[in-house]
Structure formats: C-alpha cells, structure tokens
Amino acid sequence: MNEHPADIAEALAEAARDINKPQTLEETLAAIVRAAQRSVPGFDHVGISITHRDGKIETLAATDPMVLRLDELQYELGEGPCLDAIREAPVVIVEHAEHDQRWPRYMPRAAPIGLRAQLALQLYNDEGTIGGLNLYSTRSPTVEPDAVRVAELFASHAAIALGRARREEQLNDALVTRKVIGQAIGLTMEHYQITEDRAFLFLVRASQTSNMKLRDVAQNVVDMANDRFAPRD
C-alpha cells in the first residue's frame, strides 16, 4: 500500500537522518531503498547502482533479489533503462514493458521474469553522474503521475550519500598516500644518507623513469623494507 504525502515526508526525513548516522554506505543506501519502496507509488522493488571510475557499474543496495537479477541482466547485455539513465537521460520511464521495443535484448528477457513497468533515475552531483536509482513494478504496467516526483526526492538523498562516501574514500586514499610517501622518504634518507629533499627527488625520478605513480614507487620501497626486516623462520 502506498503512503500519504505526510508519510512520504516522514520517510524522506528518515532517509535524511540515516545519511548523517555513523554507519556504512551500504547501510545508508539500504535504508533509502526501503523508504523508497514504501513511498514511491506503484513500484514493488528498488535498487541503487553506482558507477566506478573504471566504468564498471555495480548494485550496492536492493530490496529484493529480483532487483539484482534485473540489474545484472542490464549490465550483462549493455542495455536497459538503468544504463540509459546513467549514461544519457536523467529519467527513463517504462510502461507496458512486454511491448517496449527500445531495448530489444533486455525486455524480452525481463518481461518473462515479471517486469511490467520500470523507472530509472540518474544520480549525480557536482562531479557528474555517480549512479542510478532503479524501481521495478511487477504489478502495475503503468507509472503513476506522482511516482517520478517522489522518486526524484529519494534519488537526491542517494546522491548525497554516495557523494559523501566518495569524498571520504578520496580523503582516506590521500592520507594513505601521504603516509606511504613519508615512510619511503625516511627509508631512502637512511639508506643513502641524504636529506629529505634529495630523498623525495630520488623517488620522483624513480617514478618518472619507471612510468609508475609516485605512490606505487613509495609502496615498493616500504614493501622491500618490510621484507628485509621481517623475522625469518
């Protein structure tokens, strides 16, 4: 049963509170898809996809195994509303799925699974597209007028959660990189009896000569030191 506007507002408020809780990204997104499942009119199942920097798309939250099945089918075939929303149109609406001809490989396999309607929304922030919110209906062949508006609100919450997680990941990566490079500089100073500046330039030249990232060169220096000083059986 779908909720009244007051219930939808409360569900959105709950999702907003979840974003700021000290919990994992997966837990936050799971709360968002559950709230969207309860609140978006006409849809039974909800999932959130994320795009990785290497181009891979992965489902991070789903209310039902059917979401994973339909998402994976689109990833495998390289076509479908989910991918179109991520790559092109910000909102993709599918009604009477069994008759939709836009995805000639996806729909003939999705409709027999039980898909009757689908709604896909792009998740984006200041850095660009970061994923998609996917809603599936196995009961209604049409999309209710208010469904897109409500789904867009949940999509904005999901984008905030994903964006925050990515910023935290980048910060953690930067801290790790700084630590590793600092350790490598110290080891190089000790090994060659040179100053900090010269040790840093040594690592930079090694990076340029080997066509490796500075962090990778530094990690190799640290790994070799760990191997050298590791206790032997």
Same domain, 136 and 215: no
Report the percentage of the chain scoring pLDDT > 70: 84
Q: Which residue has the tokens 């925050």?
A: 164
Same domain, 18 and 105: yes
> 112: closest CA among 100, 96, 98?
98
Distance CA 132, CA 57 (A): 9
Residue 173's Cα: distance from chain center in Å? 17
Residue 6 makes CB contacts below 8 A (sequence gap 6+) with: none
Structural domain boundaries, residue 204: 171-229
Q: What is the pLDDT of residues 115-138, one digit of tens each?
A: 999 999 999 887 788 899 999 999
Same domain, 214 and 188: yes
pLDDT at 62: 94
Q: What Rg, from alpha-carbon coordinates, does the chain have? A: 24
Distance CA 16, CA 4 (A): 18
pLDDT at 133: 95
Q: Where are the beta strands (DSSP E) in 63-176?
A: 91-94, 117-125, 128-137
- Final residue in a domain of this structure, among 126, 144, 164: 164
Distance CA 231, CA 233 (A): 7
Could you give the number of structural domains in the chain? 2
Q: Where are the beta strands (DSSP E) in 63-188?
A: 91-94, 117-125, 128-137
- Final residue in a domain of this structure, among 143, 164, 185: 164
Q: What is the pLDDT of residues 190-230, one digit of tens each?
A: 888 998 888 888 888 888 888 888 888 888 888 888 888 76
- Final residue in a domain of this structure, among 164, 179, 209: 164
Q: What is the pLDDT of residues 16-30, one digit of tens each?
A: 665 556 567 777 788
